[in-house]
Amino acid sequence: MTSDAEGRSPLFILFLVVLIDMIGFTLVIPFLTYFIQDLAEADGFINTGTRDRWVGIVLACYTLGQFLFTPILGSLSDRFGRRPILMFGLISNTIFLISFGLASALWMAVVVRFLAGAGNGNIAVTRAYIGDISTPEQLPGRMGMIGASFGLGFMIGPFIGGVLTDPASTFAGPFDTQWWIDHPYFLPCLFAGCLSAISFLLAIKMLPESLSEENRRTSSDKGAGLAKIARNLVGIRDLTPTIRRLVLLNATFLLAFTMMHATFILFTGMAIENGGLGYDERMNGYLFAYVGLIGVIVQGGLIRPLTKRFDIRKIMITGIFLTAIGLGWIPYLQPTPLAIGLLAMTFIAAGNGLFQPTQSTLLTMEAKGSGIDLGRVMGAQEGFGALSRIIGPILAAFIWAETVDGTGIFTYHTVFRVAGLIAVMGILILWGMETTVKNNFTEE
């Protein structure tokens, strides 16, 4: 454990690592749908439903890589320390963010996104790092601060992605060349890759190791590959009932959230006469930037006082309800008034902002109280979360493809209704759960 003064420098770097991670992940949101649609059409997928399925598939490729490798990276951080795994993730981010902007075919986009996810276990390892250096009283605030970096990344990433897309048309000048016309999505990817490289250089100088030699796991487990992944996932049976519920809760919430993520821009980009909002990349970027702003306000400013005053589980339940309402509201939005659309997105962003840090705090405290390696627990959580982020986009894309032109009960509304119902299932998972965490946290 460390004092606040001792932990400030590492926390700043961790904040930066997660921020860069989220910028890289969310930067593609405004243009990925259009990018993949262009690549799919170039590869001969002309039918709307078939073409749009590839959006979900490419989104799922990133999290498939995370699903296969994050549990391994989490375990490696228990054995060799958090710092080298974080460094590896930053290098991976730099390489594959830039590479994605150069993708010229669907197969290339699929491969690059898979490798980007496979090399990046930074979120799980960052949470374990915070657990290493924090007291119980510090955890909610510090988890909230890292959560705020999620929100800030979610604000900056889509904004950059929207503004820097197609620089040949937007900025002209040195970008008014055939190369930039042929690579309209490269500039935002290059920008994010450079940020990741800067974060890596800062981490080399300023990020110490948090896990001492004597606290590192030294078991002789030599398994690797799919067998190792299976043991991490199946090994959830050996965790406490409360930890299992919290991991399942997170996976359920993420399933609902990523279903929205995969199809939201398919909806907003749809022509107004067909029921959509008619937004382009830049407008979608602004909208997601607003979502990120709400996340920063909730996780960076509100979560700490809320956890001191209210039961942490009630805060988490409130977050689930707000998210569910927002998800189900999406397909009923109209191009005007914009304020109604922003209100729906406020529900989603605030709900997520309340859920993420409270769930992470409960999970960390339960792991510590049970004497279970944080790296293993966080790796398992990220592994199951990644599984949800694989299933969510694919499931959403297939539901969308089958219902987008439908009438009656099954229309483009369906996928958002399903997502809202799945989010509500989290309440059932929490029902009757007992934890070792106090109702609220106070400074000592």
Domain CATH for 151: 1.20.1250.20
Q: Is residue 402 part of a domain?
A: yes
Residues 168 and 145: their CA atoms lie apart, in Å, by: 37
Residue 30 domain-assigned?
yes
**Contacts with 434 (C-beta within 8 Å, 6 or more apart), sequence order:** 242
Give the HSE-up count for residue 399: Cα atoms under 13 Å, Cβ half-sphere: 23
Total residue length of the chain: 444
| Tokens linked to 414 | 């369906």
Q: What single-letter amino acid sits at 1?
A: M
User: Does residue 437 belong to any structural domain of this protein?
Assistant: no
Residue in this structure with the two tokens 């190792």, named with its chain if needed: 228
**Which pLDDT score is estimated for 217?**
63
In a domain, 69, yes or no: yes
Residue 281 has what pLDDT?
Answer: 84
- 222 within some domain: no
Instruction: Give me the pLDDT at residue 442, please.
Output: 41
Contacts of 108 (CB under 8 A, 6+ apart): 102
Which residues, given as ranges, of the chain have pLDDT below 70?
1-9, 147, 151, 215-235, 375, 379, 432-444
Q: What is the dihedral of CA 304, 309, 310, 311, to 10 degrees?
A: 80
Q: What is the pLDDT of residue 37?
A: 86
Sign of CA dihedral 364, 24, 268, 391: negative
Q: What is the pLDDT of residue 436?
A: 59
Residue 421 domain boundaries: 4-209+228-430
Exposed, middle or buried by CB within 10 Å (0-12, 13-18, 19+), for 136? middle
Specify if 442 maps to a domain: no
pLDDT of residue 222: 46
Q: How many CA atoms lie within 13 A of 336 on its CB side?
A: 0
32 closest CA partner among 125, 83, 120, 100: 100
Tell me if 102 is assigned to some domain: yes
pLDDT at position 321 is: 93
Residue 3 is predicted with a pLDDT of 47
How confident is the model at residue 342, as a pLDDT? 93
What is the total count of domains within the chain?
1
State the CB neighbour count (10 A cutoff) for residue 108: 14
Residue 394 in any domain: the answer is: yes
